[in-house]
Chains A and B, each alone.
Chain A
Amino acid sequence: MSDSQGPIWEVFVQKKAGQPFVHCGSLHAFDKEMALQNARDLYTRRNEGMSLWVVPSAAITASSPEDIGSFFEPANDKVYRHPTFYQIPDAIGHM
């Protein structure tokens, strides 16, 4: 939703190089440079990150909670995708 404060942006922060970017919140800004500067001032005042992403909220497509059952159902009956499904002889130790 856009209003006199500009559109909403979602902010993702990477704590240290090598770690995943994690969503930390959102903010209003008029363009991407301002969004990035606002994100720095708002979400990294205490060295919370070394890298930031800002994404217009409107650009995000999300799964809907009502479809949660059927949408994620394909993963439910495939225990063979997990290592614990397989039996390995004790004699060989850790694999």
Chain B
Amino acid sequence: MENKNFEDVFEAKLAKNEMVEPKDWMPENYRKHLIRQISQHAHSEIVGMLPEGNWITRAPSLRAKKVLLAKVQDEGGHGLYLYTAAETLGTSRDELLDALHTGKAKYSSIFNYPTLTWADIGAIGWLVDGAAIMNQVMLQRTSYGPYARAMVRICKEESFHQRQGYEIMTHLSFGTKEQKEMAQDALNRWWFPTLMMFGPPDAESPNSENAIKWRIKRETNDQLRQRFVNQTVAQIEYLGLNLPDAGLQWNEAKQGYDYSEPNWVEFKNVISGNGPCNKERLAARNASHKNGEWVRAAAAAYAKKHAEPFMAA
């Protein structure tokens, strides 16, 4: 009976660009949409540690190894910020992890591609983190307070990720002939999967309309994708590499590049579990969670044994 009134307050808040906080009334679909989006985002950070982790033991120098370790540790931290943001909406860490481990929850399609060479680590930092930043900068002003605050922290930390990736690409692109070929090969393989990261075209994006209406997102998939292409072309030219899209062309009228769409059939396949590494990623996550079980049990037993009256409650 009072719902109408609560809904008015909620709508008024969005209209004034104010943030919604955990204890505020919110429509059930808004809550569900956020749990889905934030947890997918968290899962992407955690699964995203795997393709890069693949190169930690084989980094070409001690400096490169330190940098990569720091970056992968950051991704783990980002996952944790996001999980706790999702938990303010009334779900639990166990539920969220269970959804990931059983394959019920989705994560970004990009992490189902393999990292075959060192140049892939450069391409991921530069392109994949670059695309993620474009999305995350927008999300710093998302309408849900805990999500927005997590994004502010994440954006501050991400800019080193992109820069270290581009640095790797410059070393390879201005190195030997073989190194330059390796850089080109990485760009060829990562370009279109990176464009897919922004999600399906607006006309076919089932969740976009609500996300914009509720100010969870402020720009559409296609707008963000266009901005990413516009920004990245000059960076590719500087490296002296070829952009693997024959359809790329400057469009004076829209003051942006026309580009070819990625293969959306491939996107759907990868999202639904049939990408090159889906099974491997999920198996690695499950093994890691299972191998950590005795640590959680031991920590819980220790805490119980040493519980103070206040904490025992």
Contacts and interface: CB of A to CB of B under 8 A. Distances in A.
B242 interface: no
Given A25-B149, A30-B299, A45 B73 contact: yes
Contact of A25 (B150, B299, B306, B307): B150
Interface residues of B, number: 28
Contacts of A3: 92-94
Contact of A45 (B21, B77, B93, B299): B77
Closest 6 CB pairs of A and B: A30-B303, A3-B94, A31-B303, A30-B299, A26-B84, A3-B92
A58 B311 CA distance: 10
Interface of A: 1, 3-6, 8, 24-28, 30-32, 34, 41-42, 45-46, 56, 58-59, 62, 64-66
B interface secondary structure, majority: helix
B300 interface: yes
Interface string B47-79: 000000000000000000000000001100100
Interface of B: 21, 23-25, 73-74, 77, 80-81, 84, 87, 92-94, 149-150, 153, 157, 296, 299-300, 302-303, 306-307, 310-311, 313
A1 to B, nearest CB: 5
Contacts of A46: 157
Contacts, number: 62
A1 B23 contact: no
A59 to B, nearest CB: 8
Given A4-B296, A56-B311, A65-B21, A27 B80 contact: yes
A interface secondary structure, majority: mixed
A25 B153 contact: yes
A64 B23 contact: yes
A9 B247 CA distance: 52
B74 A5 contact: no
Contacts of B94: 3-5
A59 B312 CA distance: 12
B157 A5 contact: no
Nearest to B296: A4
Contacts of B313: 58
A8 B84 contact: yes
Given A5-B296, A25-B84, A25-B149, A31 B302 contact: yes
